């Protein structure tokens, strides 16, 4: 086992929303992330020129075992809008699956430990960020932190290169028993608002977040059969592109539907399509008892409008992919 890089921070009252005597934060809660190059090397690069550039990070909190996504934002007014402000800081915003309105995990003086976990396995495995918090009353950890050099004078942020054994043991246990991904609606609401404001949000998503968002939006069930096969966090459901990536499709969740593997294959080949009113339309030349039972039925739609299939992309599939199997020859 080689060395890892850990970002360690002792949390402050202001970033945690200035919690009052009733344990209620007065504003949004976040973790201030150091601008030290070692720390930033753990995160995706963000632009100085794109106003408040951001990225969605897949995070596995070791204290809940529920994988989620959180906004990592570079508040960069100093560079992108110097006439407006002078902010120049990175923040990782908390949400209800990292924190909780009913039980506040993070408190002023507590520590967080974060490291990037890079998988070297097959394509079904994912890169993510493992995150843990340690209460300030934990003397062993507090004493360990005292041996570290702060990233700058009087700061409570540290970068440790090595192995934190307790963290790694907990991570191994959580991975073995991890549950499915949960996405806070506040994230989808923020992205939807940015879309309405004219901001291009396509860059927020990649193949991994596309899969997670699409599957989560439909409750990890096939949009055609409304069924799944799973064991813990293993599912037979895949995120199918409506407009293929090779034909200009994006990783936006609205360009995806969750399909079991047989349905995904048939959808990509054009054996069936989904019309703009969300009706399944099986090609008349296809002889399949499996598909025939769903012909002219509506797909199962997500509750959150953010995940609704794009009608523009459905129209593309109707016109360019439906019936494709007839012209591609060998299947």
For residues 316 and 243, the answer to whether their CB atoms sit within 8 Å is yes
Which contiguous run of DSSP H or E holds residue 316? helix 311-316
Compare 1 and 66 and report the one with higher pLDDT: 66
Which of the listed CATH numbers 2.40.330.30, 3.10.129.10, 2.60.260.20, 2.40.160.10 matches domain 4-176?
2.40.330.30
User: Does residue 314 have a pLDDT over 50?
Assistant: yes
Q: Burial, 208: exposed, middle or buried (Cβ in 10 Å; 0-12, 13-18, 19+)?
A: middle
Which contiguous run of DSSP H or E holds residue 128? strand 128-134
User: Does residue 21 have a pLDDT over 90?
Assistant: no
- Tell me the average pLDDT across 291-315: 96
Distance (Å, rounded) from C-alpha 255 to C-alpha 269?
Answer: 17
For the chain, the distance separating the N- and C-terminal CA atoms, rounded to the nearest angstrom, is 44
Structure tokens at 123: 């394509």
pLDDT in the model for residue 120: 59
pLDDT in the model for residue 179: 67
- Tell me the average pLDDT across 311-322: 97
For residues 242 and 307, the answer to whether their CB atoms sit within 8 Å is no
pLDDT in the model for residue 27: 81
Cα-Cα-Cα-Cα torsion 11, 14, 16, 19, nearest 10 degrees, comes to 120
pLDDT in the model for residue 2: 73
Domain with CATH 2.40.330.30 in the chain: 4-176
For residues 293 and 274, the answer to whether their CB atoms sit within 8 Å is no
CA atoms in the 13 A half-sphere facing the CB of 108: 13
- Tell me the average pLDDT across 247-253: 95
Distance (Å, rounded) from C-alpha 236 to C-alpha 246?
Answer: 23
Q: What is the pLDDT of residues 114-139, one digit of tens each?
A: 999 987 544 445 689 999 999 999 99
Q: Which residue has the tokens 């012909």?
A: 295
Cα-Cα-Cα-Cα torsion 187, 189, 192, 198, nearest 10 degrees, comes to -90
- Tell me the average pLDDT across 177-202: 84
User: Does residue 305 have a pLDDT over 70?
Assistant: yes
Q: Which residue has the tokens 């459905």?
A: 314
Q: What is the pLDDT of residues 156-177, one digit of tens each?
A: 999 999 999 999 999 999 988 7
Distance (Å, rounded) from C-alpha 184 to C-alpha 186?
Answer: 5
Q: How many residues does the chain have?
A: 331
Distance (Å, rounded) from C-alpha 1 to C-alpha 19?
Answer: 40
Distance (Å, rounded) from C-alpha 51 to C-alpha 127?
Answer: 26
Q: Which residue has the tokens 């909780």?
A: 100
């Amino acid at each position: 086992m080689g060395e890892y890089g850990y970002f360690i921070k002792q949390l402050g009252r202001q970033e945690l929303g200035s919690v009052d005597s009733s344990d209620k934060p007065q504003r949004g809660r976040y973790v201030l992330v150091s601008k030290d190059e070692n720390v930033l090397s753990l995160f995706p690069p963000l632009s100085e020129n794109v106003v408040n550039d951001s990225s969605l990070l897949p995070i596995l909190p070791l204290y809940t075992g529920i994988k989620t996504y959180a906004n990592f934002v570079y508040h960069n007014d100093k560079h992108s809008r110097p006439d407006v402000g002078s902010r120049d800081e990175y923040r990782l915003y908390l949400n209800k699956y990292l924190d909780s309105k009913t039980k506040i995990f993070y408190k002023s003086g507590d520590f967080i430990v974060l490291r990037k976990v890079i998988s070297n396995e097959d394509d079904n495995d994912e890169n993510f960020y493992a995150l843990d918090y340690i209460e300030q009353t934990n003397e062993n950890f507090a004493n360990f932190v005292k041996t570290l050099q702060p990233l700058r004078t009087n700061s409570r942020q540290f970068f440790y290169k090595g192995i934190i054994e307790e963290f790694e043991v907990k991570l191994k246990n959580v991975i073995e028993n991890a549950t499915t991904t949960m996405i806070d609606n506040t994230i989808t609401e923020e992205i939807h608002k940015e879309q309405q404001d004219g901001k291009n949000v396509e860059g927020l998503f990649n193949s991994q977040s596309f899969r997670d968002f699409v599957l989560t939006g439909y409750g990890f069930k096939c949009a055609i059969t409304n069924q799944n096969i799973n064991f813990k966090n293993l599912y037979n459901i895949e995120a199918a592109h409506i407009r293929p990536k090779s034909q200009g499709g994006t990783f936006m969740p609205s360009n995806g539907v969750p399909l079991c593997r047989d349905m995904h294959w048939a959808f990509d080949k054009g054996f069936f399509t989904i019309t703009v009113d969300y009706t399944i339309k099986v090609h008349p030349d296809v002889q399949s008892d499996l598909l025939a039972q769903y012909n002219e039925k509506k797909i199962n739609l997500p509750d959150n409008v953010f995940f609704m299939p794009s009608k523009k992309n459905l129209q593309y599939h109707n016109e360019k992919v439906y019936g494709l199997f007839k012209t591609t020859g060998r299947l």
